[in-house]
Amino acid sequence: MARRKGLIAQMLDARKQAKKLQAQAEARWHRELVAEQKRQEAEARREAKQAEAAAKKAEAARLRHEVQAKRLADQAAAKAAREAAQRERAEERRLAADAREKAQGAAATKRLAEREAHAHKMAEAEFRTEAVSTRIAEYAQLLAGRNKRAAGSDLELRAALSNGGPHAFVERLQHVLAQSRYPEGLTGKAAAHYDPASRELLIEYELPLRDVVPTVVAYRYTTAKGMVAIPRKEPETKKLYGDLLARLTLRTIAETFEATSPDLVTSIVFNGYVSTKDKATGRAIRPLLMSVGAERDKFAVVQLDEPELDPVLCLRSHLNAIVSPHPYDLEGVRPVVSFDLSKYKFVDEMDVVAGLDSRTDLLTLSPGEFEHLIRRLFESIGMKSWVTQASKDEGVDGVAVNEDPIVGGLCIIQAKRYSKIVGLEAVHALAGVMDHKRAAKGVLVTTSWVGKASRDFAAANGRIEIIEGRNLKHMLEEHLGLDVLIGLQKLPPGWDRADLE
């Protein structure tokens, strides 16, 4: 029994021991489990802390990255802004530099233009001054510049006198004198009359007006005042004008004597006029400023090429000329010899025939061309003829001279380029002019026709000849070889169209 108890006790003890061991094992396991749990919890907490720390670290890294990214972005933006600002400033500097350059260029261009304009004005002032000086110098050289080749004209002047008489002589002499060249503003226009018996030549010369003498000595240009004319002193201007008239007078007389031989011309009477307007009345006046009678022998001793020659003193003291004491003021004098060539104011000849073809309609000519054509017709018939000025000719279109000593004389010509009938008043006017001019004959030439009253009046007068269109056509063909037309729209009674075509 005791043995079994012991076994049971042992078993119980063993069981207790086993339970104890089990309890110890469970306790140990529980402790290990708790420890493991704690360890796991600690590990979890550590991991959580690590995860949290990692998260915080990651967040911090993210934040740092964001901050860095923002800083980089801000830096990039700032850099871009700085670069943009730099570009803008650079553009502004470039634009400012361009503007300065343009402004400087414009200023330089302006300065250059101003310098060029100033230089141009200075050159203009010099040019004007030189032009004035040149004109005065040309006037001073009038005597030295006379036409010395006129001396070779004696034979043609003799031929003109022999073949055509005094009128032809004067016409040829005027042609010779016209070869002389004058400075601008001086024309050298002259009319003349020749008396073969006394071998005296009368010259009526158109002197220039006082405005040919420059009233300015020089021109000066300054930026402040611009172009300034320096006036010539009035006494000097008056002296230059008087000297110019004297030189023109001596030159004309000298060229005339040189062109003619002593047995043709022994003396010259020179009357110099100016054509102007009276300021008090506005009327045309023609005061005589210079009148001189020059004998060839007395004139021959004058040394015209001598620089010391005083033209005014020469005229007054040596040639005893009558010189206006105040020519600049147009104070006239009495002539040495008075003669009148003003009845007929002749114009330059116009060679109309050379410009006509064989079938020209006379009605297409101008009045002046028609008058010159009639002049040529009368010359071809054997008369000396001239065309008068278009104004103030008292109804005279031309004059012709028949030098026949028996039936010759002065002939007054009226040229009527009409397409309708010429009235009786034209024939009456011709008769009046003939009486006034003491003409031997009057001729009315027309492209049209006259009435019976005009023909009856001409027949009763006895000195008037009427040349109507169809007769004029035949005369032009006979004397000038021109087969012209006269295109009248209406024909007078008795005429045939063939008479004009």
Domain coordinates of the chain in residue numbers? Answer: 28-86, 123-269+305-314, 353-499
The hierarchical CATH code for the domain 353-499 is 3.40.1350.10
Given its phi and psi angles, is residue 455 left (phi above 0), alpha (psi -120 to 50 degrees) or beta? alpha
Write b or e for each residue in 83-97: b if 16 or more Cβ atoms lie within 10 A of its Cβ, otherwise e. Answer: eeeeeeeeeeeeeee
What is the dihedral angle through the alpha carbons of 381, 382, 383, 389, rounded to the nearest 10 degrees? 60
Task: Output the pLDDT for position 25.
Answer: 75
Answer whether 446's CB lies under 8 Å from 488's CB: no
> 194: which strand partners?
201
Angle, helix 469-480 to helix 367-381, in steps of 10 degrees = 60
Q: What's the gap between Cα 461 and its chain centre?
A: 55
β-pair partners for 346: 388
Cα distance between residue 170 and residue 164, in whole Å: 10
Residues in the chain: 501
Model pTM score: 0.51
User: What token pair was written down for 69?
Assistant: 């990214």
CA atoms of 373 and 350, how far apart (whole Å): 9
pLDDT at 242: 94
Query: Which sign, positive or negative, has the C-alpha torsion 362, 363, 366, 368?
Result: positive
Strands (E), 75-222: 190-195, 200-206, 216-222
| Structural element, H or E, at residue 384 | strand 384-387
C-alpha span between 423 and 234 (Å, rounded)? 57
Q: Looking at the DSSP assignment, which residues form a beta bridge with residue 442?
A: 412, 464
Helices (H) and strands (E) in the chain, counts: 9, 14
Both tokens of 28, joined, read 């140990």
> Integer distance in angstroms from the first to the last C-alpha of the chain?
202
**Which amino acid belongs to residue 93?**
R
Which residues are paired to 272 by β-bridges?
A: 205, 290
Question: Are 190 and 205 in contact, with CB atoms under 8 Å apart?
Answer: yes
Check residue 314 and report its DSSP letter. I
Q: Contact 390/373 with Cβ under 8 angstroms?
A: no
> For residue 447, what are its two tokens?
């492209």
Three-state SS at 395: coil
Identify the H or E element spanning 402. strand 398-402
Tell me the one-letter amino acid at 271. N
- Residue 213, classified by CB atoms within 10 Å of its CB into exposed (0-12), middle (13-18) or buried (19+), is buried
Return the pLDDT at 174.
Answer: 85
pLDDT along the chain (501 residues), means of 10: 62 74 75 76 76 77 80 82 86 88 86 83 88 90 85 84 89 84 80 86 90 92 89 94 94 92 92 89 90 92 93 92 88 67 41 49 81 79 57 50 54 86 91 81 90 92 91 87 85 82 74
Can you read off the two tokens belonging to residue 106?
Answer: 């414009």
| Interatomic CA distance for residues 322 and 289, integer angstroms | 8
Round the CA-based radius of gyration of the chain to a whole number and report it.
Answer: 62
Query: How much is the pLDDT for 384?
Result: 57
